[in-house]
Amino acid sequence: MVQPSLKQLIDALASGAFLSWQLIEKECSRMTVLEDVDKFIDGVDDVYARNQTAVDCCSRMAVLIAGNDQNAAIKLFRFDDEINRQSVQMRLRYACFVSKFGDLDGALECGARVYSLSDNIADVYARIADAYFFQSRNFTEVISYVDKDLQCGRSGEWAFYFKARLAILGGDLVKGVDLLKDAYRMSPNVRGLNTSLAKFLMNNWLYPQAIRILEEESRPKDDTNLLLCHCQLVVAKIGYAISSFPGDHLKKLGTQYNDLIAAGLSNTQCCFLGTELNVPSHWDALHLFHEVVLFQPYRFKSENDCPLIIDGGSNCGFSIGYFKHLYPESKLIGIEPNPSVYSILKSNADSNSWENVTLYRAALTGESGDSLSLHSQVGHSMNTSVVGGFVKSSDSALCSTVHTVSLQELVSGPVDFLKLDIEGAEAEVLDSSSASLSLVKCGFIEYHYRQGELGSKNRLEKILEVINNLGMRYTVQQPFERVPSWNEARLLEPGRRWSLNIFFSN
**For residue 481, what pLDDT band results from cuts at 50, 70 and 90?**
very low
d(CA 80, CA 194): 34
- 390 vs 158, more confident: 158
Average pLDDT over residues 404-421: 94
**For residue 146, what pLDDT band results from cuts at 50, 70 and 90?**
very high
486 pLDDT higher than 50:
no
Q: Which residues pair with 444 in a beta bridge?
A: 419, 503
- 4 vs 233, more confident: 233
Q: Where are the chain's structural domains?
A: 1-86, 294-505
DSSP for 222-240, written as a single string: TTHHHHHHHHHHHHHHHHH
Mean confidence (pLDDT) of the chain: 84
Burial class (CB in 10 A: 0-12, 13-18, 19+), 26: exposed
Q: In the chain, how many H helices and how many E strands?
A: 23, 13
| Alpha helix ranges (H) inside 101-192 | 104-117, 124-133, 139-151, 157-169, 173-186
pLDDT value at position 488? 42
Cα 35 to chain centroid distance, Å, stands at 29
256 pLDDT higher than 50:
yes
492 pLDDT higher than 60:
no
User: Between the CA atoms of 271, 251, 266 and 448, what dihedral angle is there, to the nearest 10 degrees?
Assistant: 70
493 pLDDT higher than 70:
no
d(CA 288, CA 286): 6
The beta strand positions in 248-379, using DSSP E, are 269-272, 275-278, 308-312, 331-335, 357-360, 363-365, 371-377
- 370 vs 472, more confident: 472
pLDDT value at position 458? 76
pLDDT value at position 42? 86
**For residue 489, what pLDDT band results from cuts at 50, 70 and 90?**
very low
Percent helix, strand and coil across the chain, each rounded to 5? 50, 15, 35
pLDDT value at position 19? 44
Homologous superfamily (CATH) of 294-505 is: Vaccinia Virus protein VP39 (3.40.50.150)
268 pLDDT higher than 60:
yes
Average pLDDT over residues 124-132: 95
**For residue 4, what pLDDT band results from cuts at 50, 70 and 90?**
low
26 pLDDT higher than 60:
no
- 494 vs 185, more confident: 185
**pTM above the 0.85 mark?**
no
**For residue 372, what pLDDT band results from cuts at 50, 70 and 90?**
confident
